[in-house]
Amino acid sequence: MQSIRNLNDMIVFLQQRGDRKRVAVVCANDASTRYALEKGREMGFIEPIYVDGDDKDECARRAVALCKSGEADILMKGLINTDILLRAILDKENGILRPGHVLTHVAMAEIPKYEKLLFFTDAAVIPVPTEAQRRQQIHYVNYVCHALGIEEPRISLIHCAEKVSAKVFPYTVDYLEIIAEAQTGAFGRCIIDGPLDLKTSLDSVSLREKGIRSVIDGRADALIFPDIVAGNVFYKTLTLFGYAKTAGVLQGTQCCCVLPSRADSPDSKYYSLALAAI
């Protein structure tokens, strides 16, 4: 498989594969969710299963049950409170969280000023990842990158500088341990480095001007943020000011979940569906 460099390539890839994923969509009562689903259906890569009704809890449970039984491949949120759907997803007995896994968010962005797709985690779900959760985030982001044909993803562990700061930012010490583990193959095929700041992760000129050496060489495929605040700021700055197109999926579940924000653009919902269908 050739590496997918932009969102259009991703759609073309899905069309050529010609495989329709079944999407259980909960309360698709808003124009942008309908748009995303109909466009995905027209392009030939999904088939929506509309789950609707007066009792939103009941709708959420039914959609999750379709995923659990294998009757649907993807779960998508429409006009329903995120909390309600998350409760159904995380339900111990009837939910779809994989045992021993953590629910986390992987986002993808096509940015005019960046040469390739950029993946990052976590802008939306885990507030402050534990060390174990951070390792799962790396596994997921690496998995998603590989699914898009990136053979050896360059994964940058984000901080505001390149120095380890044990006292104020203990996660920077964890970063060094992660790098050591990565070298033994613990995360599969990928290149991990950090702590790096955003600029030294994504711009080789800045990297050199700062006199820093990194195996990522300013060409990261994926960014791991230390907490949800930094990840969220990145995500929203990109969409507000960076002319970026974005997509996002949840990982850790038995099937891929698309839980867009109400304020996400129709196209962002469409691209998220496409990412889930990969």
Which residues contribute to the site for its own copies (CB under 8 A)?
Answer: 111-114, 123, 127-128, 158-161, 165, 168-169, 197-199, 202-203, 206, 209-210, 225-234, 236-244, 261-263
Cα dihedral value 204, 208, 210, 212, nearest 10: 90
Q: Please give the Cα distance from 15 to 4 (Å, whole number).
A: 13
In the complex with its own copies, the residue whose CB is nearer, 71 or 115, is 115
Residue 165 beta carbon to its own copies: minimum distance, rounded to whole angstroms: 7
Upper half-sphere CA count for residue 53 (Cβ side, 13 Å): 10
- In order of 11, 89, 104, 148, 213, the CA distances from 66 in angstroms are 25, 12, 21, 26, 49
Q: Please give the Cα distance from 40 to 231 (Å, whole number).
A: 28
Residue 242 beta carbon to its own copies: minimum distance, rounded to whole angstroms: 4
Residue 202 beta carbon to its own copies: minimum distance, rounded to whole angstroms: 6
Single-letter amino acid, residue 178: I
In the complex with its own copies, the residue whose CB is nearer, 73 or 193, is 193
Residue 244 beta carbon to its own copies: minimum distance, rounded to whole angstroms: 7
The secondary structure of 4-29 as a DSSP string is P-SHHHHHHHHHHHT-PEEEEEE---
Q: Please give the Cα distance from 83 to 81 (Å, whole number).
A: 5
Q: Please give the Cα distance from 7 to 117 (Å, whole number).
A: 8
Residue 181 beta carbon to its own copies: minimum distance, rounded to whole angstroms: 23
In the complex with its own copies, the residue whose CB is nearer, 2 or 205, is 205
Length of the chain (residues):
278
In the complex with its own copies, the residue whose CB is nearer, 81 or 254, is 81
In the complex with its own copies, the residue whose CB is nearer, 24 or 126, is 126
Cα dihedral value 92, 96, 101, 105, nearest 10: -120
In the complex with its own copies, the residue whose CB is nearer, 215 or 240, is 240
In the complex with its own copies, the residue whose CB is nearer, 72 or 104, is 104
Sign for the pseudo-dihedral over CA of 178, 183, 186, 189 = positive
Residue 11 beta carbon to its own copies: minimum distance, rounded to whole angstroms: 23
Residue 236 beta carbon to its own copies: minimum distance, rounded to whole angstroms: 4
